[in-house]
Amino acid sequence: MLETLSRNDYTRPEGAPSFHVKLLGIPEIHINHEPARVRGEAARRVLAFLLLASPHVVPNHRLIEAAWEDGEPESATEQIRKIISRLRRDLPNGRNLISTEAGGYRIPSGAVHIDLKTWRDSNERARMLMRGGHRHAAMETLSDGLALWRGPALEGLNGHPFAAETVALHEERHAALEAWCRLASKELGPSEVIARLRREITRYPLQERLWEMLIRELSSSGRSLEALEECVRLSKALADSLGVSPSSRIRSLQLGLERSVRGAPPMSQPGPHRAVPKESHVPRTKRKAPGAVPPWIIDLLRGQEPNPAYVSDRSWNILHGNQALFRWFPWLAKENANLMRWVLTDPAARSCLHDWEDHAAVFLGMLERTLRAMPEDASLRSLKAELTRHPQRPRIGKGEIVEVDSREGHHFTFDLPHVTPEPVNVVSHVLRSHGNDGLDVVILTPPRNTLPGGSFG
């Protein structure tokens, strides 16, 4: 985490202007404690992305992605050069601030004071303190780091690649908050943790992980009725905002609480702070019959984090998914989740998937094509009949259906307010394994990422 300074890194000369940058909220740049003015939206986005990546080199194509949200100009590479040149002229000591490297540019370590680096350094110090058994000091260090957040990271910087960075930063924040809760529960007592989690939920009301931490903390403190009330509040918040139900993890928690309140023996569940194997975090509804999904494919899905990934059969039943999939799409954690059914009938798909009708026409085309190839497949025929009868089915004419073999290489834009306030752009990669006919592995990545296509294994 802590960077090793290279010979090219920057040492601020005596009397040189001081740069202070805040990215954990609405981006702010102060030079000698005065707000800096950057001319032009593209220049503002380029500078923000260089600061976000500091001290690493940012290739030209990544700066082009950052500069133009709605399509790059033909002269994009030349425009980037002009933007860098203008930034160097406009910013005090700009020529030393932004260095030219092979294939791109960078802001060296030490050139600016960035709250993001302070945040990550505090997380590293907290880990070292925890390893040394200094729990109270680790808790205070985490608290100082969390205090740097003024709102959603990179707020106001829309589009790819900022949305992908925002998701990753909020994952870091959740991990730090969970670690703080574990420490604070013992060092300060449950009441402090519960109060902190309630404040967090007020700021981020659709973050299911915050609700889960609160429910578990209330339950472990003997406040089962309050924990049940929070389950109900979460269900209402998700239904009102997204038209979806809580994940299977929350439903299992709620069922266990209901049994406990009624006096029945509680179901076996992991305790509120006990470490459990990663596999246990995957909803049970995703674990099909033994051997349905080979262990090495499960490991492959897990290794794609923080990108969502899943494996489905040729009838689009979701057989297994990684953690990112269920954080992004908690409704796919429902029992017997089916991607085709979700896209074509679930109101959640219409609310979060941009250009829903266009995507629905393609999914209908995939279903028609697969049915022609396997006309006797009972599960496909049953799915087609269910979709035909469903009141929420798309009203798309026969001539509007687009027939393709798969969603390989297709682009999607999602609204996921429970993950990030900005739209998320991804491209789908479909991999088919030799020796595992009938299984499709699908990975969603930022558009510029590439994966070996077609087949593997």
CA quadruple 332, 217, 169, 149: dihedral sign: positive
Is residue 279 in a domain?
Answer: no
pLDDT for 330-356, tens place per residue?
Answer: 878 777 888 888 888 888 888 888 888
Count structural domains, the chain. Answer: 3
Same domain, 421 and 292: yes
Rounded to two decimals, what is the model's pTM?
0.57
Last residue of a domain, one of 145, 164, 199: 145
Q: Mean pLDDT in the chain?
A: 81
Distance CA 292, CA 298 (A): 11
On the 0-12 / 13-18 / 19+ scale of CB atoms within 10 A, 24 is buried
Boundaries of domain holding 220: 146-262
Most confident of 13-22, 111-120, 388-397, 409-418: 111-120
- The stretch 123-133 carries a mean pLDDT of 94
Is residue 12 in a domain?
Answer: yes
State residue 327's pLDDT score: 83
| pLDDT confidence tier of residue 240, bands split at 50, 70 and 90 | confident
Same domain, 295 and 245: no
| pLDDT confidence tier of residue 12, bands split at 50, 70 and 90 | low
pLDDT for 37-64, tens place per residue?
Answer: 888 989 999 999 999 999 999 999 889 9
For residue 205, give Cα distances in angstroms to 173, 197, 226, 233, 326.
Answer: 15, 11, 17, 10, 17
Least confident range from 93-102, 103-112, 287-296, 386-395: namely 287-296
Least confident range from 84-88, 129-133, 214-218, 275-279: namely 275-279
Same domain, 165 and 121: no
Most confident of 180-189, 257-266, 311-320, 431-440: 180-189
Is residue 318 in a domain?
Answer: yes
- The stretch 397-406 carries a mean pLDDT of 63
Residue 438 has pLDDT above 90, yes or no: no
Cα angle for residues 303, 306, 308 (degrees, 5° grid): 85
State residue 7's pLDDT score: 35
Same domain, 131 and 226: no
Looking up residue 344, the CATH number of its domain turns out to be 3.30.450.180
Same domain, 438 and 308: yes
Last residue of a domain, one of 89, 114, 145: 145
